[in-house]
Structure 1
């Protein structure tokens, strides 16, 4: 049995191991906002929580009552707290997403769970997607490379370490790339950056962006280039098991001509079937890709 850190580490456990090994649930405030849990792993929504929110201090009594064999986390402070309780703990960092970190996370989880073969299969899939995206984006002229901003709202802030890697990898300009993660900024700063595309962290961020009186003058808003990134157990712009899909989705959205043959519906359905063991209905797939309250992505508009 293990306590996982939802959503990042749980996704790796499910993708390379077995969700039934996870004995803790998802904080209610998180599972309510992220409908993907109810579609992909509803069991985890109802299990006991050891945190009131993501990366909150651990409830020691709740954790010890679960009697886990190991705790997996991506938060060093949580790892220290749990280790003081005498529970074996492994910390998987998410500070610098990319191919090496993805490999390290999948390999480590595979070794802990005795699922090395499954971890290797996951990394083979991930590497194939990375190579596909590299082959189609590395020769794009600088004049055809757009600028983009990935953000969350209320307050406006930079979000998602994986998206930073996506944009860098595909050669797009990350207009917020010089400021630290989770840094807050004003609408006036966004206007000054004037990105070609805005990718929102959550479906509910879209109307906030589109209806803001200052942001109406931003190029991305004026041209209808505001969309949210898909989310299953977590947003694809954050570190996690679906980072291959997140990279491919971002590349297709910003370079639609180079990826016109890629069907994200099919890619998503196949990935979640293969690695999460869930065969989605059309309605469920629409929720994963388009969310509740978000717009349907129109690639190439």
Structure 2
């Protein structure tokens, strides 16, 4: 072998090694945290945060973020969660039970309290030695005075948002989580799917020239005996508007508020939507989720029709009363909430759209658990 051939072989080998190394670095394969993997990100609160990636020990300040975390991490999600809030178990028991049925180990994840219950424990979090704490933007005002404590302990904190501006910030939050967890390719697949699903609605609404239906949406966590919150500028409020509805609470100065019966009867909406979940503290609330059945959920929805004065409402007379999973307004599944509302508002234009099909496909492609149960229903079915 002559000298020129030897040089060619050596150069070819070096190029091959560099290509293999580059492919590894671009993959979603876990990488050991080193100084070279320190990145700077901007979270949904606009804060600049420096941390090593991929994060291997994570605390979910809101355990309801399990949906998004598991979608990105897949089967190994439970190995990375070293602590979490108590809210999933109390506010969305169906999801908690569905995951723990397959992944028994999540019952042993240490709980760190919850800002909403004013029992969030920074000391407990520090004792868990996490690489990262993830908090929702709706807790920012409660948490901002504690950020210095986390900084002094050397624990990075990032804020995500699937609620205050869900239709715009869900994909931004997923992209951020992908960077933090070393799953950028997976995050891109999820955000592409999400955008495809929401565009089904936006592309059709752009061609509709009709009077918007007047809509009242209420959180059903208190049950039918007491009026729950309605929404103006966050949560379900923007989703109603983005789906082509005229939200009767859109002018409220409060982001969420409880209407009086007199206000609702005077407003006389065309469509009424009551949200449901499995709230352990209110057994008479509408059950929706992984273990709900349509017949039992519809029976609970019908109780609302017995509220004083509701028999005079257009929505009740025309059976335009619906129920939908409460946290569709604050999960990566919000595309399904958008589709369901658009179909209820414009049934002819969306007659071929099946919101449940999108949720099923999302579970099949991205979730480590199977789809089941009932997540939305119509009174007149």
1:227-258 residue CA offsets vs partner (Å, 9 max, x unmatched): 22125xxx21x222111122112212222222
CA distance in 2: counterparts of 1:11 and 1:196, whole angstroms? 33
Shift of 1:298: 5.9
Aligned pair 1:156/2:247, yes or no?
no
Counterpart of 1:297?
Answer: 378
Q: How many residue pairs align between the two structures?
A: 285
- Is the CA contact 2:59–2:133 (under 8 Å) kept in the aligned structure 1? yes
Partner SS state of residue 271, structure 1: helix
* Higher strand proportion: 2
C-alpha spacing 1:53/1:227, structure 2 compared with 1 (3 Å): farther
**Structure 1 alignment gaps of length 5 or more:** 291-295
What are the Cα deviations for residues 152-191 of structure 1, in whole angstroms up to 9, with x where unaligned? 2444322493422222222210111111222122111111
Is it true that 1:90 corresponds to 2:152 in the alignment?
no
What TM-score comes out, normalization by structure 2 length?
0.67
- Asked if 1:218 is matched to 2:292, the reply is no
1:20-59 equivalence runs, <5 A: 20=78, 21-25=80-84, 27=86, 30-31=89-90, 33-40=92-99, 42=101, 43=103, 44-52=106-114, 54=116, 56-59=118-121
Deviating more after overlay: 18-27 vs 174-183: 18-27
- C-alpha contact 2:89 2:96 (8 A) present in aligned 1: no
In structure 1, what is the equivalent of residue 341 of structure 2? 250
Q: Does 1:286 align with 2:373?
A: yes
Aligned pairs (5 A) from 1:18-167:
18=74, 19-20=77-78, 21-25=80-84, 27=86, 30-31=89-90, 33-40=92-99, 42=101, 43=103, 44-52=106-114, 54=116, 56-74=118-136, 75-76=139-140, 77-81=142-146, 83-85=148-150, 86=153, 87-93=155-161, 96-143=164-211, 145-152=212-219, 153=222, 154-159=226-231, 161-167=234-240
Query: What secondary structure sits across from 2:258 in the alignment?
Result: coil
Q: Give the equivalent residue in structure 1 for 2:60.
A: 4
- Are the aligned partners of 2:166 and 2:331 in contact in 1 as well (CA < 8 Å)? no
Classify the secondary structure of the residue corresponding to 1:119. Answer: helix
Displacement of 1:98 in angstroms is 4.7
1:207 Cα offset (Å) = 4.8
- Match status 1:182 vs 2:238: no
Provide the C-alpha distance between the structure 2 equivalents of 1:81 and 1:165, rounded to a whole number of angstroms. Answer: 30
CA deviations 1:191-219 (Å, max 9, x no partner) are 12211111112262535532211333222
Give the root-mean-square deviation of aligned CA atoms.
Answer: 2.7
| Shift in alpha-carbon separation, 1:7–1:241, aligned structure 2, 3 A | farther
- What is the deviation of 1:112? 0.8
Residues 52, 162 of structure 1: CA spacing in aligned structure 2 closer, same or farther, 3 A cutoff? closer
Measured after TM superposition, the shift of residue 119 of structure 1 is 1.1
Q: Distance in 1 between matches of 2:108 and 2:322?
A: 31
